[in-house]
Amino acid sequence: MQANVQPLTLPLHGDDRGKLIALEALSELVPFEVKRVYYIFDTTPGTVRGNHAHKNLKQVLICISGACTIVCEMPDGTKSEIRLDWPNRGLLIEGLVWRQMKDFSKDAVLIVLASEHYDEADYIRDYNQFKKECAK
């Protein structure tokens, strides 16, 4: 699978009652069947999470409350930082991408839609191993 990191702008349905965002599997925004949803919240100030890559997993990350920053390193070493600070701002990550999540605001809730069930064997948690995989 080609490594890909793609910011997404999720369509917002707003009126005088408030705002609503709909996410649909196999759509342009979530281009896979969602098998798992998890969320990260109540993070310790200053913490950095992630520090791993996935072999096969596809995910869409959305900070539905507060804000956090996602740092991605592509197989060619290119790095990008994406600030997720509004519920209609998402990030699609697929393929071999080293990721970190940092600078969580106190109220941050990061929700993640994932293409597969949890499988520790899909993780590359060793950075040197990641670089070796990238060189293949």
The binding site for ligand T46 (CB under 6 A) comprises: 36, 38, 40, 49-50, 59, 61, 99, 101, 112, 118
CB of 70 to ligand T46, least distance (A): 8
Helices marked H in the chain: 127-135
Q: Which among 4, 18, 2 is positioned nearest to 59, based on CA atoms?
A: 4
CB of 65 to ligand T46, least distance (A): 16
- Check 13, 52, 54, 117 and give the catalytic one: 52
Nearer to ligand T46, 13 or 33 (CB): 33
Residue number, 61 or 63, with CB nearest to ligand T46? 61
| Residue 54 among the catalytic residues | no
Least gap, CB of 109 to ligand T46 (angstroms): 13
Where in 10-78 does DSSP place strands (E)? 12-15, 18-21, 36-41, 49-54, 58-65, 68-73
- C-beta of 14 vs 119, nearer to ligand T46: 119
Q: How far is the CB of 46 from ligand T46 (least distance, A)?
A: 15
**Closest to ligand T46 by CB, 29 or 58:** 58
C-alpha to C-alpha distances, 4 to 14, 35, 92, 103, 117, nearest whole angstrom: 30, 20, 8, 23, 20
Strand partners, 115: none
Q: Which of 21, 57, 53 is nearest to 38 (CA)?
A: 57
Residues with catalytic function: 52
